[in-house]
Amino acid sequence: MRKLANSELERKNIEEFKQAAKTPLIIILDDIRSLHNIGSVFRTADAFLIEKIYLCGITATPPNKEIHKTALGATDTVTWEYAKDVLEVIGNLKKENVAVYAIEQVENSVMLNDFQLQENQKYALVFGNEVKGVAQEAIHLSDGVIEIPQLGTKHSLNISVSAGIVVWDLFQKIANLKME
């Protein structure tokens, strides 16, 4: 085996990315403190052609040197929008028939590995503050809650790691739905 050179990776340019069919997923980041986490989520969104990111509350927005450090240009490809109030974003998405799911540990959550997607349904995923998680009001307004199974002692993952896990899992499930 030989490691591929960057020139062999067949990367899209910005215009090709903008024109590409998007994965029917929207990411909502609410009150994310770490600029590196925000940048990492942008990179994940770019990797899986995510439709849009909403940056809410205290979540910083591009252009920002620290976000750019981890986003590596993904802030130029992924569509994003700032909204002060996450509840308003969730409400508006639900009016557009987008299914909204918080990513959190709550009573009666659905484990990610058990979560079933509905065909032809667009989904939005709410990720919350690094310390406090998703706000309870956002959980109440969501259509449901997805939990990442964790077996160790911490039962806590970094927001950018959580986003990567959930997006990858749903990306695969969406691809499988298309193949059926």
CATH number for the domain harbouring residue 105: 3.40.1280.10
Owning domain of residue 46? 20-179
- The answer as to whether 3 is a domain residue is no
Residue 15, domain member (yes or no): no
Q: Is 128 exposed, middle or buried (0-12, 13-18, 19+ CB in 10 A)?
A: buried
Look at residue 167 and tell me whether its pLDDT is greater than 90: yes
Q: Could you tell me what percent of the chain has a pLDDT over 90?
A: 94
CB crowding 25-45: b at 16 or more within 10 Å, else e: bbbbbbbbebbbbbbbbbbbb
Kindly report which listed range (6-15, 126-135, 143-152, 162-171) carries the lowest average pLDDT score: 6-15
For the chain, the domain total comes to 1
Residue 2 has pLDDT above 80, yes or no: yes
Nearest to 122 by CA among 74, 50, 180: 50
- Type and span of the H or E element at 19: helix 14-19
Where does the pLDDT of residue 6 fall: very low under 50, low under 70, confident under 90, or very high at 90 and above?
Answer: confident
Over residues 130-158, the pLDDT tens digits come to 999 999 999 999 999 999 999 999 888 99
Residue 111 lies in a domain: yes
- The answer as to whether 72 is a domain residue is yes
Domain-embedded: residue 9: no
Q: Indicate the residue type of 33.
A: R
Give the tokens for residue 21: 């069919």
| Residue 178 dihedral angles phi and psi, to the nearest 5° | -65, -30
Q: In this predicted structure, what is the pLDDT of residue 170? A: 98
pLDDT in tens, 45-97: 999 999 999 999 999 999 999 999 999 999 999 999 999 999 999 999 999 99
Asked whether 109 and 146 are in contact (CB, 8 A), the reply is yes
Q: Which residues contact 144 (CB under 8 A, 6 or more apart)?
A: 99, 101, 102, 109, 110
Helix (H) or strand (E) holding 30: strand 23-30
Residue 2 lies in a domain: no
Q: In the chain, what percentage of residues exceed pLDDT 70?
A: 99
pLDDT band at 42 (very low <50, low <70, confident <90, very high): very high
Q: How far is CA 53 from the centre of its chain?
A: 7
